[in-house]
Chain A
Amino acid sequence: MAKKQNTDVSIVLCGQAGMGIQTVEGILTRMLKGAGCNVFATKEYMSRVRGGKNSTEIRVASKPVSAFVNRIDLLIPLNKGAVEHLRDRISKNTIVIAEEQVVGNEVHGNFRFVEAPFTKIATDIGNKVFSNVVAVGLLAGLLGMKLPDILDYVKKFFASKAADIVEKNTKAAEAGFQLAEDLAGRIGLAFTIEPDAGVKDQLLLNGGDAIGLGAIAGGCNFISSYPMTPSTPVLTFLARNGRDFGVIAEQAEDEIAAVNMAIGAWYAGARAMVSTSGGGFALMVEGLSLAGMLESPLVVNLGQRPAPATGLPTRTEQADLEFALYSGHGEFPRILLAPGTLEQAFYLTARAFNLADKFQVPVILLTDQYLVDSYYNIPGFDLAKVKVEKYFVKTEADYKRYELVKNGVSPRGIPGFGRGLVCLDSDEHDEYGRITEDLQLRIKMVDKRLKKLESAKKEIIPPELFPKQKYKNLIVCWGSTYHVVKEAISRLDRDDTSLLHYSQVYPLHQKTADLLGKAGKVVVLEGNATGQFAKLIRLNTGIEIENRLLKYNGLGFTVEEVTAGLKKILK
């Protein structure tokens, strides 16, 4: 194998839960980014704490990469069955570096096998648990990193551990590096990624962190939630940083309590959010309707995962759009955002708090496991572009919480700020917020609540259209599929095809019908089985999108399958 320049290497590690694959991901991505490589990492894992088969894909590239690919250039299976687990993604070009007994009968299969005695090396150092760090040293070596840099980073990574642990991990990384040297010398195995000088100082983070940072930027100071994959990282992020930023992070007894706490917090002047997934959101739905009636702001991170019921708890899907759209008894406005990139996750989360406060409506962020768990490097977030906009007012005596105003958005007072009393009622109420069965007033209050949606429609985030404003084919998608579709379109090598990505899915942008109407062929791509966004578009525009790329096996789309799917439709 000749040493050549590589632009994009896809590495996959696969093993059982508890083998330290996440540690490899954590060290390797940060170390390689520090060395100037663009990195992307995403994981798929089973809903168990030990055992099973979990895999992490790490893409290392000379140009920015931010999407899941099917291809595996380098596979490190850490236990028996790992190769079988990834069979569909392994090709003749895949190099499998493993212990012979891990690969077993598969050795003579359709890939190139390179033996590496991870366990033996680790056991010689002191314990087989160091195998994962041997793999780190090996991979870093194969990707051209220098030994001192590797050891420096490993020491830093384990700095909080006992001296003995640091020493053994350092030895493990060094042994892995020697193995890489050996393989390079013996069979010419090596990858060279040209460093990109700007990358070193970029941010490397995942969607969960981006949402958490965005929440702080948006002035979030209260989160009440019940842990549920894949929404928990947002709760843990705000809990971890709560003391520094004055955020109350409370694990509620159930999701019902969580949403009602958040509504109480907004009432008292806090900026509150809940983070949950479909099943937990189902329990919050009565509370969502309460927010509708009280005209309370509310921010919900709805991390979607495959359902119904418990579904595939640790996997990804985009099947809660209609649920979020129609959840809650009665009629009341809401805003649905769907970040597709880390930048959008940050800026839209911050914005969600302002929108919720301004229009006094629930704002639901439709995220998913793929977005929350995927890492890549980005230039940064610009705090000059975010602002905490508070819309509550100081009350006067005789304050009316639900004053019938033209745009439906009555000035929102909070108790203890001003001379007025702030009265909220889940029953139909009069302008003061007191219970009523005046049926004429009922009509006025319904109309007032619904009018807020018209106000919110003036600030809909437009869909992103690229690369060309003129197109024959238009690929429509929303939420976390942004980067995978973008890369697939670039691979199509056509100049007549553009992407239309929605980061706000409701209310739907008014230009939608025009944009779709200009295309000869429209394709919608969604991570669900029924084309929920296509249905929403039809409902709003009357346009039926016949070409659909749908995926609902629990994994995110890969660039290859989107490329192939589009090629087939566009021909």
Chain B
Amino acid sequence: MDPKLFDMGQIDVAWCPGCGDYGILTVLKRTLTELDIGPEKLVMVTGIGQAAKIPHYFKTNFLNGLHGRALPPAVAIKAANPSMVVIAESGDGDMYGEGGNHFIHNIRRNPDITNIVHNNMVYGLTKGQASPTSQRGFKTPVQVAGVILEPFNPLAVAIALDAGFVARAFIGDADQTKEIFKKAITHKGYALVDVFQPCVTFNKINTWQWFKDNTCYLDQTHDPYNRAAAFKKATETGKLLLGVFYINPNKTTFEDEIAIYSDDKRPLYERQPDYNRLQKLIDKYRTAG
């Protein structure tokens, strides 16, 4: 496969020049190509925000839904047709703020989907307000004296909920981001990748240089299969760590748990209700005890 397969040709892209979203789009196309996942096989589900526009800029099936609501349709799509590769992707405000409840409960549900979150620590589309991941003291037109809320820690939350795969990337390192995406997509079950991605227009603090200076990879000795160690790493102060924090390979996916596929692999769209069985169920109301 060639990454060009995903190209849209000449299109008008709404992202600012220099935005980290471009890098994520390029890496995503390369990842899918290397995994041999073509546009017809893929369903992208996004919410609202600059990050959420990503499926408009490459060839794929997609449902670009409501702000904060990428995960519920994503889990349903995967459940209705498990043969599709489903990626739910949006920004930090969408996934962790507006959609926070879905973030928590879909980790519990463990659908076999990949959740990519563009984390630039600011709201871009609405022009520069604080996001759930904004650092304390970050000044905005709304948080005029600086953010006073504790930043949301998606990795710690996900590990606390025993998410099957938890990682963080920085799009300044495209090759490593691609490797992390590949692991996330091939992980069977819910996989979270929080991706640092500078907003060049509204975040003058957490810039490309800032991320370069304030991130580093988990060292080789980190054991991603050790949940307590992963949680410790996720909550460490100091430099923000990158890499695969946690993997639990022993979880059953939502689609496997719901059992309707155990003896019938067909997706829901190929099925018809069994009227003979329904007649029997109706007839039970004639004699029901």
Contacts and interface: CB of A to CB of B under 8 A. Distances in A.
> Are the chains A and B members of one assembly?
yes
Contacts of B53: 435
A96 interface: no
Contacts of A153: 289
Interface in B136-162: none
Interface in A209-260: 209, 213, 216-217, 219-222, 224, 241-248, 250, 252-254, 256-258, 260
Interface stretch (A168-176, A330-338, A422-430, A531-539): A422-430
B80 A248 contact: yes
Interface in A260-276: 260-265, 267-272
B272 to A, nearest CB: 6
Q: Dominant SS at the A interface?
A: mixed
Contact of B43 (A244, A294, A415): A415
A244 B73 contact: no
Interface stretch (B21-29, B127-135, B236-244, B275-283): B275-283
B269 A287 contact: no
Interface string A194-205: 000000011111
A253 B100 CA distance: 11
A258 to B, nearest CB: 8
- Residue picked from B63, B76, B270, most chain A C-beta under 10 Å: B76
A466 interface: no
A424 B269 contact: no
B260 A241 contact: no
B207 interface: no
A433 B79 CA distance: 23
B102 interface: yes
Contact of B61 (A262, A271, A294, A415): A415
Contact of A268 (B39, B269, B273): B269
B264 interface: yes
- Residue picked from A246, A287, A388, most chain B C-beta under 10 Å: A246
- Residue picked from B65, B75, B83, B271, most chain A C-beta under 10 Å: B65
Given A415-B84, A434-B56, A264 B278 contact: no
A423 B259 contact: no
A426 B81 contact: no
Given A268-B81, A415-B61, A262 B260 contact: no
A172 to B, nearest CB: 17
B39 A421 contact: yes
Contacts of B65: 260, 263-264, 290, 294, 424, 426
Contacts of A241: 281
Contact of A260 (B72, B275, B285): B72
B90 interface: no
Contacts of A216: 273, 278, 281
Nearest to A259: B72
Contacts of A286: 66
B274 interface: yes
A265 B289 contact: no
Interface residues of A, number: 72
Contact of A245 (B69, B79, B83, B273): B273
Contacts of A434: 56
B183 interface: no
A421 B63 CA distance: 11
A266 to B, nearest CB: 8
- Residue picked from A287, A416, A425, most chain B C-beta under 10 Å: A416
B48 A224 contact: no
B78 to A, nearest CB: 8
Interface string B231-273: 0000000000000000000000000001110001001111111
- Residue picked from B69, B102, B259, B264, most chain A C-beta under 10 Å: B69
Contacts of A267: 63, 73, 77
B289 A264 contact: no
Given A213-B278, A261-B73, A424 B273 contact: no
B40 interface: yes
B83 A416 contact: yes
Contact of A264 (B48, B74, B272): B74
Contacts of B105: 252-253, 257
B66 A260 contact: yes
A201 B286 contact: yes
A422 B102 CA distance: 24
Interface in A412-463: 414-417, 419, 421-427, 433-435
A248 B80 CA distance: 8
Given A203-B282, A383-B279, A417-B269, A254 B83 contact: no
A552 interface: no
Nearest to A414: B269
Interface in A502-534: none
A30 B269 contact: no
B72 A30 contact: no
A166 B83 CA distance: 49
A245 to B, nearest CB: 6
A421 B60 contact: yes
Contacts of A245: 273-274, 277-278
A89 interface: no
A335 B37 CA distance: 39
A392 interface: yes
A423 B268 contact: no
A157 interface: yes
B77 A246 contact: no
B281 A246 contact: no
Interface of B: 39-41, 43, 45, 48, 53, 55-56, 59-66, 69, 71-77, 79-81, 83-84, 101-102, 104-105, 258-260, 264, 267-275, 277-279, 281-282, 285-289
13 contacts: A205-B285, A220-B273, A222-B80, A244-B277, A245-B274, A248-B260, A260-B73, A261-B75, A388-B272, A416-B267, A422-B61, A424-B64, A433-B62
Given A247-B260, A257-B101, 8 more contacts: A224-B76, A246-B264, A248-B80, A248-B258, A250-B258, A257-B105, A265-B79, A268-B76
Task: Pick the 5 closest A-B CB pairs, nearest first.
Answer: A269-B269, A264-B73, A264-B76, A260-B72, A268-B80
